[in-house]
Amino acid sequence: MPKALSAHSNISASPAFMQNLRDIAEITPLLVVLLGLFGGAVVLGILQSFGYAPWFGINEFPTTQYFERLWFSSDFWVSLGLTLYYGFAATLIGLVISVPLSIALSKKFKSSRLFGALTRLPLMVPYTVGIALALVMLGNGGLFSRISAGLGLIDDPSQFVRVLKSHWGYGIIAVYVWKQVPFMTLTLSAVLARKGEDTVEAAMVLGASSRQIFWRVTLPQIMPGIVSASLICFAFNIGAFEAPLILGGGYPDTLPVLAWRYFQDANYAFQLQGMAVVVSLALVSGVFLGAYLLGYRRWERARGRV
């Protein structure tokens, strides 16, 4: 018996071991790319922001002078404020549009496929195309300004609202919303489709109003989609550089633009300064996203208890 048992365990253990080995082998390339590329960038970025750049002949590690210089300048906080403002405003407006839009698109109506596809178009084109559209539509010499002139509302381009090149960032937010509503809607639609209509139907049978169904049934159902879509869009918004550069109000710039300007400087010390900017940006982004996730978990848990 013991002999047979050992033989049996031998036979079954070996494939399991092989299977484990195979699993590890299959996941390794992904780990290598993620850790090597992405992890390397993170580690090196942090090292550099603390003054480690021997290839430029700079090695002051560890120094906090780059962070100090940054955090003690009031311009940095204005830049940070602008960066967060554009990110928050665009994400919030995007959500307010895409939640009802995804619900509307889940309904049956004439040419619903066509409309669904039309609203998805911005997802398929580069941000730079969105910026080009903003330039031709929204500038003081743009189409809206011309239409206003045609209607006799203004008689000089300077009288039109300064949509672009303003620190209010209407143009930047418009481009982000234009581009991200399809992404959010698509994510939410997939969640909606999977959840099905059973609970909504049940709620309706029980006599819930449309408003009650939305707040009590649909919204909690799509919450995971809302959280992940808004996380991704917010992170993108505060890290993007082309829209604030082209459509923004100039000095003080958003943090990615500021970092890029530092990085473009021939003076290498400024490149370390730029690195301190992006590390600060990543830090702020991490704090906000972490708080958001934590809040969401707490909300889920509270719901679970109720």
Partner 1 sequence: MTGQTSKPRDLKAISPWQRLLVLTMATFTIAPFAPLIIQSLAFRWAWPNILPTVWWHEQRERSPFPLAWDYVFSPSSRVGEATINTLGIGIAVTLLCLLICLPAARVLAQRNFHGKSQLEFLIALPLLLPEAAIGIALLMIFIALGLAGTYAGVIVVHLIPTIPYMVRMLTAVYQGHGTEAEDHARILGANRSQIFFRVTLPMILPGVIAGCLFTFLVSTNLFLLTFFIGQGHIITLPTLLFAKISGGALDATGAGIALIASIPGIILLIFTDRFIRNYPLAE
Partner 2 sequence: MQRTKPLIRQMLLASTLAVVSWSGVAQAMNAPGVFRSEFLKGNLGWEDVTARAREEGSVNFYYWGGSDIINLWVDQVATPALAAEGVRLNPVRITATKDTVDVVIAELAAGRGEEQGSVDLVWVNGENFYSLKQQNALWGAFANRLPNSVNFEWDENDPRSLLNLRDFGVKTGFQEMPWSGEQYVCSVNRAHVSAENTPATFAQLKTYLEANPGKFTYVKPPHYLGNTFVQSVLYAHNPDGTGAEPYQKSFEELGSVELARLMEPGIEYLKSIEPLLLGGASGKPRYPENSGELDNLFLNSEVHFNCKFGVFGNHNGLITGAYPEQAEEMIFPAGNMIKNKNYLAVPLNSPHPAAALVAINYFSSVEAQATKLKTAGMPVGLDLWRLSEEEAAEIATSAPPHYGVTQQQLDDNIAPDTNASLVDVIEATWLAVIERKEDKPLADIVAQVSGELNN
Work out whether 196 is an interface residue with partner 2 (CB under 8 A).
no
Among 21, 268, 283, 287, binds partner 2 (CB under 8 A): 268
Site for partner 2 in 34-63 (CB under 8 A): 55-57
Calculate helix-pair angle for 255-264, 268-305, nearest 10 degrees: 160
Region near partner 2 per CB under 8 A, out of 96-104, 176-184, 261-269, 280-288 = 261-269
Measured CA to CA, the distance from residue 46 to residue 196 in angstroms comes to 46
How far from 52 is each of 61, 157, 172, 271, 281, CA to CA, in Å? 5, 50, 35, 11, 19
Site for partner 1 in 133-162 (CB under 8 A): 133-137, 141, 143, 145-147, 149-150, 157
Q: Which of 244, 255, 252 lies closest to 282 in space, CA to CA?
A: 255
Q: DSSP 3-state assignment of 59?
A: strand
Q: Looking at beta carbons only, is 3 or 194 nearer to partner 1?
A: 194
Site for partner 2 in 164-183 (CB under 8 A): 165, 167
Least distance to partner 1, CB of residue 209, Å: 5
Half-sphere exposure of 155 (CA within 13 A, CB side): 1
Work out whether 252 is an interface residue with partner 1 (CB under 8 A).
no
Among 60, 224, 269, 270, binds partner 1 (CB under 8 A): 224
Among 189, 249, 253, 276, binds partner 1 (CB under 8 A): 189
Least distance to partner 1, CB of residue 50, Å: 13
Binds 13: which of partner 1, partner 2, none (CB < 5-8 Å by kind): none
- The single-letter DSSP state of residue 53 is E
Measured CA to CA, the distance from residue 244 to residue 115 in angstroms comes to 30
Among 157, 220, 224, 239, binds partner 2 (CB under 8 A): 157
Measured CA to CA, the distance from residue 194 to residue 44 in angstroms comes to 42
Measured CA to CA, the distance from residue 221 to residue 246 in angstroms comes to 39
Work out whether 294 is an interface residue with partner 1 (CB under 8 A).
no
Work out whether 92 is an interface residue with partner 1 (CB under 8 A).
no
Measured CA to CA, the distance from residue 11 to residue 68 in angstroms comes to 63
Work out whether 17 is an interface residue with partner 1 (CB under 8 A).
no
How far from 83 is each of 167, 244, 285, CA to CA, in Å? 10, 9, 10
- The single-letter DSSP state of residue 51 is T
Region near partner 2 per CB under 8 A, out of 102-110, 113-121, 213-221, 259-267 = 259-267
Binds 209: which of partner 1, partner 2, none (CB < 5-8 Å by kind): partner 1
Q: Which residue type is seen at 270? A: F
Residues that bind partner 1 (rule: CB under 8 A) add up to a total of 108
Show the site string, 108-137: x = touches partner 1 by CB under 8 A, - = not.
xx-----xxxxxxxxxxxxxxx-xxxxxxx
Work out whether 266 is an interface residue with partner 2 (CB under 8 A).
yes
Q: Which residues are registered as beta bridge partners of 59?
A: 52
> What DSSP string describes 128-145?
HHHHHHHHHHHSTTSHHH
Question: Residue numbers of the site for partner 2 (CB under 8 A)?
Answer: 55-57, 75, 139-141, 156-158, 162, 165, 167, 249-251, 264-266, 268
